[in-house]
Amino acid sequence: MKRLVSLILCLSLALSVTIAYADLSTNEQSIGEVTAESKKLSDQKIAEMAKRLEVLNKKVSNGQVNPMSDPQIPPSKILSTSGYIAQPDNSTCGPTSAHNLLLSWGKNISIDTLKKDLGYNGQTPFGDAWKTTLNNYTNSTYYVVTWSPSQTTIWNAFVGDTIDGHPFILDTHMSSENGYLEGYSGSTWWHYVTGIGYSGYNLNSDNSKYGVYFDPYDGRVGTFGQHSLELPKWVKLVSERGIVW
């Protein structure tokens, strides 16, 4: 009898683990509202950040640092993730990533509050609610929503937002076609993570440039915490949605 109870318990635990992993593999993520004004703001930030990083990285002819190059862009930089937490369940990667991001701004906003603000309905849609929510809590106009960003824009987000001291959001669709973040394989996931840094700015090869991110999911071995991924691999991962930067 004891052996039967033990066997049933083991099977129940195994089933619960299977379900927990399966829940992260979802149907296609819904899309939130997207306005023409949001697209305009995105285009403006893309252009302004590209120009700004060009100026920051430029030196005058006598070899002295351009006075506008302050701060100079270091080869690598990673923001602090002190206080960052794991998502409380399998479907709240969006609100949790937003919570972690806002901690870096000195704002401790509950996940339940962020679920309401971001329009969470079992999943978190990608759309203008992200821009509105992050800018409201940071009392800024810093964040914009960029759909299907180019490789250059993704890199400028990792570098530019990091030297500004501000994390940003990446909405990934992992699959055998798009590739995987650290710890994932063999299935399909729609998953939010927080961009927190970069490395390889001084290197010419794109494969030697890395975007550093924080993953809030701790339901699989090796997923939770800080990781880095080669720049070209980010393009497919965020191509179907995008970034909030």
Whether 6 has a pLDDT exceeding 90, the answer reads no
Q: Phi-psi region for residue 144, left (φ > 0), alpha (ψ -120 to 50) or beta?
A: beta
Structure tokens at 166: 């501000």
Question: How far apart are the C-alpha atoms of 210 and 175, rounded to whole Å?
Answer: 20
User: CB neighbours (10 Å) of residue 94?
Assistant: 28
Q: Which residue in the block uniquely carries the two structure tokens 């990667």?
A: 93
| pLDDT level of residue 3 (50, 70, 90 thresholds) | very low
Residue 24 is predicted with a pLDDT of: 54
**What is the Rg, in whole angstroms, of the alpha carbon atoms belonging to the chain?**
20
pLDDT confidence of residue 71: 56
- pLDDT above 70: residue 14: no
pLDDT of 104 reads 97
Q: Is 75 exposed, middle or buried (0-12, 13-18, 19+ CB in 10 A)?
A: exposed
pLDDT digits (tens, 9 = 90+) for 101-140: 999 999 999 999 999 999 999 999 999 999 999 999 999 9
By mean pLDDT, which of 12-21, 54-63, 152-161, 199-208 is the weakest?
Answer: 12-21
What is the average per-residue pLDDT within 202-228?
96
Which of 99, 221, 236, 93 is CA-nearest to residue 175?
236
Distance of alpha carbon 38 from alpha carbon 36, whole angstroms: 5
Asked if residue 200 has pLDDT above 70, the reply is yes
Residues 6+ apart with CB under 8 A from 191: 24, 93, 171, 172, 173, 174, 181, 184, 215, 217
Report in angstroms the alpha-carbon separations of 104 from 80, 92, 190, 234, 236: 8, 19, 24, 23, 27
Yes or no: say if 90 and 23 are a contact pair by the CB < 8 Å rule.
yes
Look-up: residue for tokens 């798009």? 178
Indicate if the pLDDT at residue 20 is higher than 50: no
In the chain the domains, ranked by start, together with CATH numbers, are 2-244 (3.90.70.10)
pLDDT tops 80 at residue 155: yes
In the numeric block, which tokens belong to residue 199?
């490395």
User: Cα separation of 172 and 156, whole Å?
Assistant: 17
- For the chain, give the mean pLDDT: 86
pLDDT surpassing 80 at residue 58 = no
- Which is nearest to 45 in space by CA: 145, 193, 150, 168? 145
